[in-house]
Amino acid sequence: MISQTSFFTVPIQHPNQGEATYVLFSTHCTRWFIANQSSLEIIQSIVQTGTPEQAALQIAQKYGISLEIAQQDTQNVWHQVQQSGFLISQTSSPQKIILDTLFIHITNACNLHCPHCYAGSSAQNREFLPLSLLRKLFEEMQDLQGKKITITGGEPLLHPEIQGILTSAQAVARTQMLTNGSLISEPIADFLAKNNIGIQISLDGSTATAHDALRGHGSFAKVASAIEQLKTAGHQKRISLCTTVHQATLQDLPNIVDLAQAWNVPLLRFLPIMKLGRSHSNWNTLDIPLEEQYPNPLIAHIQNSMPKMRFEYGISGLTFESREGAEIWCPIGTMIVVAANGDAYPCPMMMMSPWKLGNVHEHSLKELLTSRKMAEIIKIIEERPKKIEECVTCDWRTLCQSGCLASSLNQYGTPWTQDCFCSYRKQFYPNMFSKLITF
């Protein structure tokens, strides 16, 4: 039975009229329920009296209505509450071991030397994960019901066995390759199209001058050519562009939106800069205060000018539900990230020794997923909303869950503070609930 302590209530603004509306959040799982004033009163009455029948009696007496009508109303509300799953605790069932995503840096070699590279890749690096090992990982992934493989680097197209890697990966899960785009020739574009490999190309400027200042002379022309080759190969639908937001790209973001649209790519992503790899050493020339990263005119420009293209802001956790079968929205626990030397981590933004899970040369993916270190990290994620002072009393704590652990670690050096997108979420959730109740 629902009790006084099993939920808390957050009033939200109804956009059209003054009707009082509330979101009821479960205190023990991520479920929620939207109620108007009378539904809330019925639920409170059920809590107080202990059963829907007793609540109907109380309501009939209080408002002088017939018991039959009060019973109907009470049963309706009670039925909706139960249907919503708002009262169900998901934590009681044992969690399945699932590897949703495998994110592999197959090499740390790169033909470019970008100042903001989180992997610290360069032409001097020569580590390559062998195809034989990667095939073994893909087989293990299949056993763990894996859905998505991301192949990255360094520049993955420098790997001598890249075609075998991509076809072996695609045989077990939806595969995407992250590339700087500089090595995509006509035969490579044809190969990628034939094997339906998703391609994310980095774009750090809307002009050759802006992009090449970060990525080297001639890089922009190569990206433009890669996109043409992929389109000619009939692979347009699986191209996305990705821009890292920092001091040098900020002013150019609206133009990048326009260029992506002119190139007719289906998806543009902006990623916030993280203090990792080479960006850590160049932090003074890259860092920008978070509130300046997504200024309102930019967001308005994106919203007004993107009829066909999808856009991702790179602000994780703007979600209303946790992922399937778990109480946390963060993919940690269902993802393994592998560095070019085989070291395994829980998240691409946590590739640091304190968070190392093991090494794929020595451990199976299942061993890494069930490792003591992974359990320790998941526990930190679960504890954050209960321990971070500002989150403990925040209305949005069951959805936000104190934001992104990696972001707190990278920006503030500790897991025990809310992440840098806190203020965005505090605006986002009430706005989205207000929109939701008009549907």
Which residues of this protein are in contact with ligand SF4, per CB under 6 A? 316-317, 330-332, 347, 349, 385, 390-391, 394, 396-397, 400, 402-407, 418-419, 422, 425-426
C-alpha 101/C-alpha 148 separation (Å) is 5
CB of 311 to ligand SF4, least distance (A): 18
For the bound state, the minimum distance from the C-beta of residue 270 to ligand SF4, rounded and expressed in Å, comes to 14
Whether the bond between 120 and the residue before it is cis, its omega within 30 degrees of 0, is no
Q: Residue 58 or residue 334: which is nearer to ligand SF4 going by CB? A: 334
Nearest distance in Å: CB 317, ligand SF4: 6
Give the span between the Cα atoms of 39 and 79, in whole angstroms.
11
Task: Report the nearest approach of ligand SF4 to the CB of residue 25 (Å).
Answer: 11
The answer to whether the beta carbons of residues 126 and 110 sit under 8 Å apart is: no
- Count of beta carbons in the 10 Å neighbourhood of residue 63: 12
Which residue, 39 or 316, is less far from ligand SF4 as judged by CB? 316
Residue 395 C-beta: closest distance to ligand SF4, Å: 7
Instruction: Sort strands 335-338 and 343-345 into parallel, antiparallel or unpaired.
Output: antiparallel
CA atoms within 13 A on the CB side of 98: 15
Strands (DSSP E) found in 124-212: 148-152, 174-179, 198-202
* Residue whose structure tokens are 């099993």: 6
Q: Taking a C-beta distance cutoff of 8 angstroms, is the pair 256, 268 a contact? A: yes
Please identify, using beta-carbon distances, which residue of 316 and 322 lies nearer to ligand SF4: 316
Residue closer to ligand SF4 (CB basis): 22 or 191: 22
Q: Element (H or E) spanning 48, and its range? A: helix 37-49
Summary count for the chain: helices (H), strands (E): 18, 13
H-state helical runs in 216-295: 219-232, 253-262, 277-281, 283-286
Q: Residue 81 or 330: which CB sits closer to ligand SF4? A: 330
Distance CA 200, CA 385 (A): 33
Q: Between residues 300 and 375, which has the closer beta carbon with respect to ligand SF4?
A: 375
**Judged by CB, which is closer to ligand SF4: 133, or 380?**
380
- The least distance separating ligand SF4 from the CB of residue 22, rounded to whole angstroms, comes to 18
- Output the smallest distance, CB 2 to ligand SF4, in A: 23
CB of 390 to ligand SF4, least distance (A): 4
Report how far apart the first and last C-alpha atoms of the chain are (Å, whole number): 30
Cβ-based nearer residue to ligand SF4, 81 or 400: 400
Q: State the virtual CA torsion across 307, 312, 313, 316 in degrees, nearest 10.
A: 150
Question: Strand pairing of 21-26 and 239-245?
Answer: unpaired
